Amino acid sequence: MKSEFGVVGLGRMGGGLALQARERGMRVVGMDPAGLRPELGAAGVEAARDLAELAAQLAAPRAVFLYVPAGPAVDRLIDDLAPHLAAGDVIVDGGNSYWGDSIRRQRRIAPSGVELVDLGTSGGIDGARRGACFMAGGEPAAVARVEPILRALAVEGGYVHAGPPGAGHFTKLVHNGIEFGMLQAIGEGVDLLERYRDPLDIAAVLSCWRHGSVIRGWLIDLMQQQYARAGGLDEVPSFVEDTGEVNWLVADALRMEVAIPVIAQSVMQLFASRDDKDNSARAVAMMRNGFGGHPYGPAPAIVEERRRGQVGGTFRDDE
């Protein structure tokens, strides 16, 4: 199965993974409502007009990756795709679905013999293109069938079979919560630097922190690069948009009675980011733009995605 797979949703993440796979010699059949972007076709990604054609172009046992927004759209897509698949085929949900929804979906399609793997995908656009970090959840046999693909598309050490169905999306959700807390801490630090009594060479300070400090890492790298490129924070809106997944984690933590004050407060700060003097929000916006291409300022399409995705956030084990 390492040699080929299908992808539904060829945006920034799905398209990036498809391009990386082609460079590694894999055959990729793709489908997107907007059609294939020219660079995908030029790279040899094969286009399918619909789900039936996509399934027909793949040899059994098939692997079909989904990179579409979380929420009811995933349920509809699985329902539409599954009839074109057979026992032993694997659907891989690589989006930011709620882990409870992934458990429910896996149970729903299991009687058909089609398997579902929930795949947390991290690393942003650059990771999809050059080597991602994958957290897989699912039954061992299902994960084993797609593991060669995942290992080939991951950075070294950037793959784990985290556990049974739901575990991939749960670990990715926790990852996103940690990310929010780290972004907020860095943003607050930049705000403090901006407000010091004397002018500071903040770009140089950030550059220094990238080398040998205990807080060095990719987010500090992005902060320094974005700050230097923009010449400061003044032209960056403080409005930070998000798709709402970490809200689910806060709700989960309340039900689990686990204290996550930093993560919860980071979500609250997103809500407060409409303050036009909030330098920390500007800094967070810069880093989010750097790793994920997230837009500056309000984005109606993301607001709609967040609202559509609110199917997640609750789960009963008897579902």
Which residues carry out catalysis?
A: 172, 179
Q: Which residues of 291-304 are buried (b: 16+ CB within 10 A; e: fewer)?
A: beebebeebeebee
Instruction: Compute the distance between CA of residue 84 and CA of residue 317 in angstroms, rounded to an integer.
Output: 29
Instruction: Compute the distance between CA of residue 54 and CA of residue 46 in angstroms, rounded to an integer.
Output: 9
Query: What would the 3-class secondary structure string for 167-189 be?
Result: HHHHHHHHHHHHHHHHHHHHHHH
N- to C-terminal Cα separation, the chain: 32
Q: With CA atoms as reference, report the closest residue to 91 among 117, 58, 113, 109.
A: 117
Instruction: Compute the distance between CA of residue 282 and CA of residue 299 in angstroms, rounded to an integer.
Output: 15
* Contact assessment for residue 161 and residue 143, using Cβ atoms and an 8 Å cutoff: yes
